[in-house]
Amino acid sequence: MSAGAARKLDPPAPDPAGRTPESFLEEIQQIFNAGTLRGAREVAEQGLALYPNHPELRRLHHALRPFKSRIVSGRRQPDRRETFRWITENAWKYEGQWVAVLGPKLIAASPKLSEVLEVVEKGHFDESPLLYHVV
């Protein structure tokens, strides 16, 4: 048989400490509840190394990975603090509606997103308004 031929893969070696995938999941949950994201991430990595095909360990390993962000447009992103302040203070008045907000100003509000988009598209703004669905 050549070196490139298929061979049977051995199942992963059991954890020397006797932990099962479920015990890793419990430990991750306890650490996460204590507020330590890094520790939960590390345990998820350990569990996935031992049980690479376990679907829940794979899902948690993916969900707990470090967050990466990037600017796609190459343009400077606007300061949205005033917009978020407006939403925090006023969104309750527009429950069930879509709102378009730019800085401290409401641009449009409607239960239909298409109506809000129509107003935004017709407006000529230096920056794009933030669209938000109030639930």
Q: Are residues 87 and 128 in the same domain?
A: yes
4, 40, 46, 98 from 33: Cα distances, Å? 47, 9, 19, 34
Please give the Cα distance from 49 to 84 (Å, whole number): 41
Q: Give the residue from 63, 96, 119 where a domain finishes.
A: 63
Q: Which domain holds residue 42?
A: 21-63
Which residue matches tokens 């969104």?
91
- Residues 6+ away with beta carbon under 8 Å from 54: 21, 47, 48
The pLDDT of residue 69 is 62
Q: What is the pLDDT of residues 75-108, one digit of tens each?
A: 677 789 999 999 999 999 999 999 999 999 999 9
- Please indicate, yes or no, whether residues 92 and 120 belong to a single structural domain of this protein: yes
The answer to whether residues 52 and 94 belong to one domain is no
pLDDT on residue 75: 66
List, for residues 29-47, the tens digit of each pLDDT value: 888 788 777 888 888 889 9
Please tell me the total count of domains within the chain.
2
- The helix (H) or strand (E) run that includes residue 115 is helix 113-122
Say which residue, 126 or 74, is predicted with more confidence. 126
One domain, residues 58 and 90: no
